[in-house]
Amino acid sequence: MKELEELNLPGELMYSKDHEWAKKEDDTIVIGITDYAQDQLGDIVFAEMPEVGSSFEQGEEFGTLESVKAVSEIYLPVSGEIIAINDALEDEPELINEDPYENWIVVVRPSKEEQFDKLLSREEYLETLTG
């Protein structure tokens, strides 16, 4: 397990208390899990993702990641419609362990854009980890 100072938490991203990251790209939001989450999970062996076109509310479970240690739910940090999933993760879910920011999970068209601005900054997210 990594120490907090070893975690890769890019400053340009926004974070949720449930350990997802979000990045705004034009009128969409790209979502994945944080370095902390992948580190805690250990080796990810399976990713269950939603169907493109499905919609979820903020905080709603949209998929699961299974590791050799546990099954973990992933929650949508903003309400919206899934417009893309990272197909590569179906065959190679371990890509998330290699780089959780390059290997995003879903792209969402947000239905409530203001939710993005209320997510946590890098510093605020770090505070949730140190409790």
Identify the pLDDT of residue 131: 79
Q: Which domain holds residue 69?
A: 19-113
Identify the pLDDT of residue 45: 98
Q: What is the mean pLDDT of residues 88-106?
A: 97
pLDDT digits (tens, 9 = 90+) for 9-60: 999 999 999 999 999 999 999 999 999 999 999 999 999 999 999 999 999 9
Asked, for residue 29, whether it belongs to a domain, the answer is yes
The CATH number given to whatever domain includes residue 54 is 2.40.50.100
Any residues with CB less than 8 A from the CB of 112 and at least 6 apart, and which? 58, 78, 79, 80
Asked, for residue 65, whether it belongs to a domain, the answer is yes
Instruction: Give just the sign of the alpha carbon dihedral 117, 63, 27, 14.
Output: positive
The residue type found at 17 is K
Q: What is the mean pLDDT of residues 108-131?
A: 96
Would the pTM count as exceeding 0.75? yes
